[in-house]
Chain A
Amino acid sequence: MVKMFIESFKNLFSKPETVKYPFEPFPEPEGFRGTILYNEELCIFCDKCENVCPPGAILFEIVDIETNKREYNYNPYLCIYCGACVDVCPKADEGCLTQANTRTKPLGEEVVKDKKLGYLMNRITNPKEVEKAWSELEIRAKESREKYAEYKKQQRMKKRAQAQTKKENS
C-alpha cells in the first residue's frame, strides 16, 4: 500500500511519456523517408522513376511533341514514400531526385507550393481539386504518349519516303 502511494506520488510529478505534438515540435529522425524532391535542371528524362513507382505517383507529360519536352508531375498524396524512385534514379547522387527527411504537409486549406514538387502541384490552388486534376492528368499523359509515338512513326515514314524519292531521282 505504502509502495503504491510512493509510486503514484512519483508519477504525479514525473514528466509525461507522450509528446504534446501540436504545441511542441516533433521532429522526424535523420534518414526519415519523406517528400520526394525533384530538380529539373539535372533530369535526363529517362522515365525510370515513372516506371518503377508502385502507385504511379510520378507522371511525365509530353507537352511539346516536336521537341519531346516533358513535364514532371508528382502527387505527394498518392505517394507511398517507399523511395524506390530515388534508388533507381541515375542522377540521384547529384541531387536530381532526393528524398527529404520531413513530412509533406497534410492537404488542408491550401495546396503546398514548391517548385521541387513538379508542375501539377504548383498549378492547383484549391485542395479539393487535387484528386480530379490528377486523374485528368493520368489520361492526358497517356494520350500524349500515344500522340508522340504516332508522331515518331510519321517522321520515320516521311524519312523513308524521302530516302526513296532520292533513290529514284538519282
Chain B
Amino acid sequence: MGNKIVVPFGSQHIALPEPVSFLFDTKNEIITNVKVDVGYVHRGIEKAAITKFEFTNVSYLLTRICGFCSITHAGGYHHGIEKLLDVEAPKRAEYIRLIITELDRIHSHLLANAHVAEVAGYENLFMQGVKDREIVMDLLENITGNRIQYDIYTIGGVRRDISKETAEYIKKQLLKLKDKVLKVYDFYDTDYTFGLKTKGISYISLDDAKKYNVVGPIARASGLATDARAEFDYLPYDEVGFEIQTRTEGDVWARNIVRQMEVIHSIDLILRAIDNLPEGDIKVKYKGRPKGETFVRVEAPRGECFYYLKGNGTKVLERVRVRVPTYSNIPILKELFVGEKYSDAQPIVLSFDPCMSCTAR
C-alpha cells in the first residue's frame, strides 16, 4: 500500500497540445481522484462577438476560435445567420462548403490519430500520419488560399469557386491519399503492441455514453450512433450518401479506428460531391438585418458543435452562444481517469482529441 501522491498533469505537459490542467490523486500509480481546470485560454470571444463586431464580420472572429474547427465555426455561424436573414445559399455553394468541411475533418482526424500513436510510443507512425496530412493541407491551400483559416464562407454562399482543373487535382490527390490512409489503417487495426497500449483502456459503455451525453468519435466508438450530419439539416449530406461510422469496443483503440474509418468515408463523400458538383452561381445577395433567434447544430471533427444566435434588428447581434464538442466531453473524461494507471493518462486525454481553445473560447 503506497501513500497518496498528487500528480499534476498540465497545464504545460509534453503530451498535451493545448493548456488543460488535471490534478490526479494517485495511490500506487492508480488514479483515485481528479480535479480539472479548462479555462486557461478564455479570450472572451462571445463578448467580443456582441460588442465589437457587426454581424457581417463576426464570422472572421469566430473562425479564429480554433484552427482545426475554423470551418465548423464558420458553418455554424453562417447557417444560423442565413436563417435569420432568410437567404438560402445556392446548391453549388453548399457542395463547395461540404467539400471544405470534409477536407478539414480529414486533416484533423489524421493528426489526432497520429498524436495518440505518438504518446503510445510510436513516433514513426506519428510521422507517417502527419506526412499524409500534408496532402490535405496542400489541397486546402490550393482551394481556399490558406492552410488553416479558410474563410471560404460568406453570407449567402462561398467566396471562391472550384475550377475544373482544381477538381481534377483534388480527385487525383485524394485517391493517392486513400491508398496511404488504408496502409496506416491496417497498422492501427492489426499491430499487436499498439493494441496492448490502447485496447481496453478507458472503456466507455453505451449506457455511460448516453448518460454523460458524449459526442463525436468518442460516442461513436462506444456504439452510440450520434452525428449532427445525420441529425440536422445543414449541408447536403443525404445527397452524397452519408453514413454514420460506429464501433462497439469503446476504448482508445476503437476511437482511433472510428476516426480512421471516418477519414476514408470522408474521402468517398468528397469524391462523390466533386463528381456531382452542380453548375450555377456560388453566391446570392442578401438584404436586411438579422432578427429573431435560431439554434444550429453542426458536426465538427471532434463532435457536435452547437450555435445559438439572437438578433434584434440592428447590425450587432444580441447573443452568440457557442458550445463546442470538447466542452461536453470533459465531464466523462474526468470520470474516466478514476481507476486507470497514471501512465495511461496521456493516451486517454489524446484519444479524446481535446481542443481547449474551443472549450474556453
Contact = CB atoms under 8 A, between A and B. Distances in A.
Do A and B touch, yes or no (CB under 8 Å, in the complex)? yes
B141 to A, nearest CB: 6
B57 A52 contact: yes
Interface in B48-63: 53, 56-57, 60-61
Interface stretch (A26-34, A140-148, A162-170): A26-34
Given A82-B60, A84-B60, A29 B149 contact: no
Interface residues of B, number: 19
B60 A80 contact: yes
A32 B145 CA distance: 4
A17 B131 contact: yes
Contacts, number: 39
A137 to B, nearest CB: 19
A101 B146 CA distance: 10
Contacts of B149: 80-82
A84 B159 CA distance: 10
B159 A87 contact: yes
A17 B134 CA distance: 10
B265 to A, nearest CB: 26
Interface in B255-282: none
Interface SS of A by simple majority: loop
Given A82-B60, A87-B159, A31 B145 contact: yes
Interface string A54-84: 1000000000000000000000000011111
A32 B61 contact: no
Interface string B158-198: 01100000000000000000000000000000000000000
**Which of B57, B138, B154 has the most chain A CB atoms closer than 10 A to its own CB?**
B57
Interface of B: 53, 56-57, 60-61, 64, 131, 134, 138, 141-142, 144-146, 149, 151, 154, 159-160
27 contacts: A17-B131, A17-B134, A29-B138, A29-B141, A29-B142, A30-B142, A31-B142, A31-B145, A32-B141, A32-B145, A32-B146, A33-B145, A33-B146, A33-B151, A52-B56, A54-B53, A54-B60, A80-B149, A81-B149, A82-B60, A82-B151, A84-B57, A84-B60, A84-B151, A87-B154, A87-B159, A101-B145
Interface of A: 17, 29-33, 52, 54, 80-84, 87, 101
